[in-house]
């Protein structure tokens, strides 16, 4: 789903960015100057990428990067780039296990969207984001603003390749997302920072883990439903985003495989009609929607008349995933492993 929904809800109201002309001019001086360093570029530079329909040109390996979404942040940290990061923003969960020490080295500019002036105050020479919305209207600032100030911006292809983001929802997958798109993002960022071997090693590890988890189960008879957030009008995963990757890798069935919407809002009566075998529940630490944590979700499921008689609820077949594991990120592999473990625990894996 879009960054909008990941931060303020699957479904969130974007905060307006109001800057005076004087402030823009003042902060622009800092932002633009850092992007025009005189460092001698190593072989292979400048690097030019095309992401989400825009060209990104990076003259030399970044030394003052700001990552504006948690998924992007965790890729950069996994590539060992904390010493070349000066800020992060937009978090839904604690940082990925094993990255705590590296993450502690990088200032967190905001739990949600940092202001443009706060980002520019760090004099970034590169900005990365997981979602178009983050560098669009209602997010931190339009991508064009960063470009105007001389700061290259990279947006993950997972939010635009084979995806229609028109409208106010989380978009629709016109093509089925695969982990290859996530691997492409890793390769792009590794190339930008001139750490290609680290990128290749990270991808190899993720592929090996995915293959191992897939071999461990055959869940062809199990139906799984993914609930991200909101109890009044729940955001339930459609066929073809990150939850679709998890489902296909394990041979299971998505209860709402008949919709290509990324995170459609489904009423509970329809959920009851589908009666999934397993409920994969987003366990979020943010507080922007109703029923964010797994504890809140389970309490709702077990007390609501429309849901308390679901097979998965009566048998307590719950798999808890971080919000990031339900996004197309490196954590999607964690999701594959955890759902596989849950299916085995419930006796639903052959």
Q: What are the pLDDT digits (tens) for 134-190?
A: 999 889 999 999 999 999 999 999 999 999 998 878 999 999 999 999 999 999 999
In this structure, the answer to whether residues 44 and 101 fall within a common structural domain is yes
Q: Residue 21: what pLDDT? A: 33
DSSP letter assigned to residue 235: B
* Nearest residue to 200 via CA among 216, 215, 186, 219: 186
In this structure, the answer to whether residues 288 and 140 fall within a common structural domain is no
Q: How far is the C-alpha of 192 from the C-alpha of 46, rounded, in Å?
A: 9
In this structure, the answer to whether residues 253 and 132 fall within a common structural domain is no
CA 318 vs. chain centroid, Å, equals 22
In this structure, the answer to whether residues 222 and 190 fall within a common structural domain is no
In this structure, the answer to whether residues 144 and 238 fall within a common structural domain is no
Domain boundary among 186, 207, 228: 207
Q: What are the pLDDT digits (tens) for 82-139?
A: 999 999 999 989 999 999 999 999 999 999 999 999 999 999 999 999 999 999 988 9
Q: How far is the C-alpha of 246 from the C-alpha of 339, rounded, in Å?
A: 8
The answer to whether position 350 is within a domain reads no
DSSP letter assigned to residue 114: P
**Which region holds residue 90: left if phi is over 0, alpha if psi is between -120 and 50, else beta?**
left
Segments forming the whole domain that contains residue 229: 218-345
Q: Which pLDDT band, with edges at 50, 70 and 90, does 16 fall under?
A: very low
Peptide bond just before 226 cis, omega within 30 deg: no
Whole-prediction pTM = 0.88
* Nearest residue to 121 via CA among 64, 49, 42, 62: 64
In this structure, the answer to whether residues 186 and 240 fall within a common structural domain is no
Average pLDDT of the chain to the nearest whole number: 89
Domain boundary among 207, 227, 242: 207
In this structure, the answer to whether residues 77 and 183 fall within a common structural domain is yes
CA torsion sign for 49, 53, 55, 56 is: negative
Residue 34 in contact with residue 153, Cβ under 8 Å?
A: no
Please report, for the domain that includes residue 44, its CATH number.
Answer: 3.40.50.1980
Domain boundary among 175, 207, 239: 207
In this structure, the answer to whether residues 37 and 126 fall within a common structural domain is yes
In this structure, the answer to whether residues 163 and 231 fall within a common structural domain is no
CA 8 vs. chain centroid, Å, equals 13
The answer to whether position 188 is within a domain reads yes
Q: Residue 39: what pLDDT? A: 56
Residue in the structure block whose two tokens are 């085995």: 344
Residue 245 has pLDDT above 60, yes or no: yes
For 192-254, the three-class secondary structure string (H helix, E strand, C coil) is HCCCHHHHHHHHHHHHHHHHHHHHCCCCCCCEEEEECCCCCCCEECCCCCHHHHHHHHCCCEE
Q: What are the pLDDT digits (tens) for 303-326?
A: 999 999 999 999 999 999 999 999
Q: How far is the C-alpha of 191 from the C-alpha of 231, rounded, in Å?
A: 42
Domain count, the chain: 2
Written as six digits, the tokens of 129 are 């984001």
């Amino acid at each position: 789903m879009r960054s909008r929904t990941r931060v303020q809800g699957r479904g969130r109201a974007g905060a307006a960015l109001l800057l005076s002309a004087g402030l823009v001019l003042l902060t622009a001086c800092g932002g633009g100057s850092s992007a025009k360093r005189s460092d001698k570029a190593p072989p292979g530079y400048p690097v030019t990428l095309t992401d989400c329909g825009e060209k990104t040109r990076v003259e030399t390996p970044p030394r003052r990067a700001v990552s504006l979404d948690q998924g992007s942040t965790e890729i950069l940290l996994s590539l060992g780039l904390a010493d070349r990061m000066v800020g992060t923003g937009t978090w839904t969960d604690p940082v990925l296990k094993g990255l705590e020490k590296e993450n502690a080295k990088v200032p967190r500019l905001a739990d949600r969207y940092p202001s443009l002036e706060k980002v520019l105050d760090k004099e970034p020479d590169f900005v990365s984001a997981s979602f178009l919305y983050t560098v669009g209207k209602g997010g931190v600032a339009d991508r064009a603003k960063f470009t105007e100030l001389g700061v290259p911006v990279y947006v993950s292809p997972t939010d635009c390749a084979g995806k229609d983001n028109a409208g106010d929802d989380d978009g629709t997958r016109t093509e089925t997302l695969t982990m290859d798109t996530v691997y492409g993002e890793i390769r792009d960022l590794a190339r930008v920072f001139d750490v290609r071997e680290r990128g290749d090693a990270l991808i190899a590890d993720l592929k090996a883990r995915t293959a191992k988890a897939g071999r461990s189960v055959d869940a062809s008879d199990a139906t799984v439903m993914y609930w991200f957030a909101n109890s009044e009008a729940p955001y339930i995963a459609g066929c073809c985003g990150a939850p679709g990757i998890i489902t296909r890798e394990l041979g299971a069935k998505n209860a709402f495989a008949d919709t290509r919407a990324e995170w459609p809002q489904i009423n509970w009566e329809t959920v009851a009609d589908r009666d999934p075998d397993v409920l994969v529940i987003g366990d979020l630490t943010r507080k922007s929607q109703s029923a964010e944590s797994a504890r809140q979700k389970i309490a709702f499921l077990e007390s609501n008349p429309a849901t308390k008689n679901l097979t998965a609820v009566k048998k307590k077949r719950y798999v808890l995933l971080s919000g990031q594991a339900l996004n197309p990120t490196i954590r999607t592999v964690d999701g594959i492993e955890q759902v596989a473990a849950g299916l085995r625990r419930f006796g639903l894996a052959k």
